[in-house]
Amino acid sequence: MKVSSSTRSVLIFGGAGFVGSNWAHHLLTQTDANVQIFDNLSRRKVEHNLRWLKKLREAKNRLSITIADVRDPSTVRKATASATEIYHFAAQVAVTTSLDDPRSDFEVNAGGTFNILDAARQSGNRPFLLFTSTNKVYGKIERGDHAGPYSGVNESQPLDFYSPYGCSKGTADQYVHDYARIYGLPSVVFRMSCIAGPRQFGNEDQGWVAHFVYSALQGKAVSIYGDGHQVRDVLAVSDLLRAFAAAYERRKVTAGQVYNIGGGPANAISLLQLLNGIESSLRVRVPCRFRPARPGDQPIYVTDFGKFSGDTSWAPQRTVMQTVNDICDWYSHNRALFAPTPFAVPAGKLPTEALGGIAS
């Protein structure tokens, strides 16, 4: 049953990416909202997500697309002028990329977020704004920091920005939170753990669950940076969409709040455990190459989502292996998207999709 939402004008920054395209699909098929996607299409293959959305019957007269960059304040202001809701997923998403080019990382993540926030403030609409931050704002959490290896991190964990990526996303995180306090902008921050699911073009720098699955399906070896015992909690993208909807529906409660969002202890898994699960499920062998640990990687991160659950009654529904099966099913219907391309992505292009994954 559709939700009546004819007055909703939704703007999705990074809307062509993994999370953004899934959210756009939900809005177009489950509500009556008008949806504007804002993306610079710099992340590989995201144009396929736009083609998928354009084919929807519901997209006619309700979907508009702006190809532009969040670093351009004038274009951001124009796109934001009539929005009643803003979802900010546009970002440089890889720790490794931030180490190679910290200036661009800062300009996209911190500067781009500031452009969006100030455009929202100047619009006079007081749009609901949801920003996807990352667990990296908590720094290098060690296994001994909590009572057990799979106990969750809640919002009282001290901030400890680590790596240029952690600093840029942390800066954006705090700006979004403060614009709610200072300017009354009804904004929500999601500090996310590992998100996975269909339409994720994962690689070894970001989107590690999908990367492991695709490697197994294609008979490719994977590189493990560190000992492989790093632990993350995995959240299915379908459960994340439910969290977005819950945050909006309960906006009188969630506005101005920061929430840790992830699969929680029940969906916590190490890299090697996930590989073993994939091998058992697909009945394949995935060769592994062990390499030195990379800067900025957390030995363990597991989400305590109790605060958000208390405010909205939300909880994850999909298990890790169900999420793996969802990715496999999507891959089986979209094999052509993974065929080798005869050209490389232009140098200097930055991803415009925000995820709370880890460099695997």
pLDDT digits (tens, 9 = 90+) for 175-215: 999 999 999 999 999 999 999 999 999 887 789 999 999 99
Q: Which class for 85: exposed (0-12), middle (13-18), buried (19 or more C-beta within 10 A)?
A: buried
For 291-306, what is the mean pLDDT? 91
Residues classed as catalytic: 165
Would you kindly state where each structural domain of the chain is located, as residue ranges?
9-272+275-338
Which pLDDT score is estimated for 245? 98
Q: Can you say whether residue 31 is alpha, beta or left, with left for phi > 0 and alpha for psi between -120 and 50 degrees?
A: beta
pLDDT of 84 strictly over 80: yes
User: To the nearest whole number, what is the mean pLDDT of the chain?
Assistant: 90
Q: Give the rounded percent of residues in the chain with a pLDDT score beyond 90.
A: 82
The first and second tokens of residue 213, run together, are: 């699955």
Tell me the pLDDT band of 140, cut-offs 50, 70 and 90.
confident
- pLDDT, tens digit (0-9, with 9 covering 90-100), for 257-270: 999 999 999 999 99
Rounded to whole angstroms, the Cα distance separating 338 from 335 reads 6
Rounded to whole angstroms, the Cα distance separating 91 from 100 reads 16
Q: What CATH superfamily classification does 9-272+275-338 receive? A: NAD(P)-binding Rossmann-like Domain (3.40.50.720)
- pTM equals 0.91
Q: Count CB-CB contacts under 10 A for residue 292.
A: 6
